[in-house]
Structure 1
Amino acid sequence: MEKQSLTALVSAFARAYHAEHKEVKVFDDPLARLLISDEEFAGISGNMAKAAAFFRPGLSGSPEEALREVVDHQLSPTPLGRAAFTEEALEAAVRLGARQYLIFAAGYDTFAYRQPAWAAPLQIFEIDHPATSADKQRRIAALPIAMPENLHFIAADFREPDWRSRLLDCPAFDPPCISFCSLLGISYYLTKEVFRQLLSDIASMLPRGSSIVFDYPDELTFTDQAGQRAKKQVMMAAQAGEPMEASYSYAELERMLEEADLLIYKHLTPEEITDQVFHAYNNSQPDHPVTAFDHVHYVLAVKQ
């Protein structure tokens, strides 16, 4: 990948659309819209409205209604749900003593620029592919936003063996310090061996009590039993040049984590995500509910 991630940009679009158009929010990211140019926002909006017949066959209505349906049904459930799950877990970890937040594949995440008061003790590390990291920094530099003093950029490709040295070379990174790590949207795009090694490498660098949050596609994702949303998401990722590589059963994932000295502290199925994360929003929008994405699960794991 020699240019910024298109899937990361679409995720930012979904967060921006939700923040601008919804009164009751699953997850509120008021800065996401600032990272997307008007031209990009209009282009994604138009393309998604035109694709409504693909994502929602039989749908009728105006382009605006089509866009809302595509965003709520296809684009936003995972970016919104996993962000809400992660930042709730992060707050709990900080209150228990975590002092470093490592955001792997940070993309266009905006946490560092909208830090709540409870994040004050944190050192934040945005770790991402050099192309996406450079594009993110270019976009931020063009905004009237002060660069947080506790934010550090680490340009690294997780598929390359030197990514750990790049993090360790950062003077602000303290390996003995309890850390919270987010690996959102990563497990889909790495082979199983690379993802297994990534989990092991991260865990080996951190002390007991550190935690990792990630989402993953289950073992039905690439089968005929997969839901239509999942099948279309696989197709869309491939067309964007970022094909999905792997899926996991719970038992397989549990073994993988145990090998890395990680234990599952919390695990949410799609049904549980809908009940817990989207409950308040759906009560406010009974005619247009949002449901968690087919076959996508969330995990909070803690190092023993």
Structure 2
Amino acid sequence: MANTSLTALVSAFARAYHAEHYETAIFKDSLAKQVMTEQEYDAISSNMCRAIQFFQPDFSGSQQDALRYVVNNQLSPSPLGRAAFTERALQQAAVLGARQYLILAAGYDTFAYRQPTWAEQLHIFEIDHPDTAADKQSRISRLQWDAPANLQLIAADFNDSSWTQKLLANSYYSASTRSFASLLGISYYLTKEAFRELLTALAHIMPAGSSIVFDYPDELTFTPQAGSRAQKQVMMAASAGEPMQASYAYLELESVLEQAGWLIYEHLTPAEITDQLFQHYNQSNPQHPITAFDNVNYCLAVKR
């Protein structure tokens, strides 16, 4: 599993835990737990229980209480919120004519295997690092899941500019067909120049009217003014060998997008994410509320 993403596996764990424990969910990924082995699920559970003193030094309660606290406060908010935001925007894009869905850094995303009927008209392209892509496919093979007819797999490294050529070489992909791309969990781990190049590359292979969705850390993320959860997330990423590289002020991000050919269509701050995407869950689970992650915003942009 060299070069496979630990953060992607923890994100899958967070989605799996939420789907298993809450009937009314922020986002329900019914397949996430199956993609993991029991040993992986249990190991992450144990590690997070042991980490409770790092996340909440004055915590008192059972191991299950500790795990729930860590998952709900630290692990789940971003994977759940950004997935809910993305699939809401994707459905609307499909209604408006998008026919291709690019999942960049797909990790252990399960959309292609639990796709709703409205997605059957889409060609889905999962694009990820060759090592992570190979690991995911070994998991799919173990589960004996049939590959959906509308799914294409592209193994590529975004640090290598030739990734677009690999996509364009796929006979199912058309650069003239309106498309939707998700870039979840990517902006944190690329330098500003690399992220700018990625946005520009996407604009070159997607026609006008196409859209992209991504989450990004705000300009306070690497400062003492960041929320406690954000500060700890930066430390966790570094300790996992995947250090965060960049953060953005809104006006800076707007400028980067405009230079690459994109215009912001929808933008949510943490307070807006909690209000719009978490409200139904919180009303149904008042004893275990979840709030959007500190210093992380969501953006939907459209190509001019």
Q: TM-score range with shorter-chain normalisation?
A: over 0.9
Give a deviation string over 1:223-262, Cα, whole Å, max 9, x none.
Answer: 0101110010000001110000000000000000001111
Structure 2 Cα separation of the partners of residues 16 and 288 of structure 1: 17
Structure 2 Cα separation of the partners of residues 177 and 228 of structure 1: 43
Percent identity for Structure 1 against Structure 2: 64
Structure 2 Cα separation of the partners of residues 81 and 145 of structure 1: 27
Q: Does 1:197 align with 2:197?
A: yes
Tell me which residue corresponds to 1:129: 129
Aligned 1:96-111 pairs, distance under 5 A:
96-111=96-111
Structure 2 Cα separation of the partners of residues 270 and 51 of structure 1: 24
Q: CA deviation at 1:23?
A: 1.5
Aligned 1:247-266 pairs, distance under 5 A:
247-266=247-266
Tell me which residue corresponds to 2:285: 285
| 3-state SS of 1:142 partner | helix
| 3-state SS of 2:187 partner | coil
Tell me which residue corresponds to 1:5: 5
The answer for unaligned runs of 5 or more in structure 2 is none
Contact 1:204 1:260 in 2 (8 A): no
Tell me which residue corresponds to 1:35: 35
Q: After TM superposition, where is structure 1 displaced by more than 2 Å over at least 4 residues in a row?
A: none
Q: CA deviation at 1:36?
A: 0.5
Q: CA deviation at 1:130?
A: 0.5
Q: CA deviation at 1:46?
A: 0.2
Number of aligned residue pairs? 304
Q: CA RMSD in A?
A: 0.9
Structure 2 Cα separation of the partners of residues 144 and 160 of structure 1: 32
Tell me which residue corresponds to 2:188: 188
Tell me which residue corresponds to 2:223: 223
Of residues 207-216 and 136-145 in structure 1, the stretch that sits farther from structure 2 once superposed is 136-145
Aligned 1:124-163 pairs, distance under 5 A:
124-163=124-163
Q: CA deviation at 1:287?
A: 2.3
Tell me which residue corresponds to 1:114: 114
Tell me which residue corresponds to 1:75: 75
Tell me which residue corresponds to 1:93: 93
Letter in structure 2 aligned against 1:109: D
Letter in structure 1 aligned against 2:281: Y
Letter in structure 2 aligned against 1:170: N
Of residues 246-255 and 50-59 in structure 1, the stretch that sits farther from structure 2 once superposed is 50-59
Structure 2 Cα separation of the partners of residues 252 and 2 of structure 1: 35
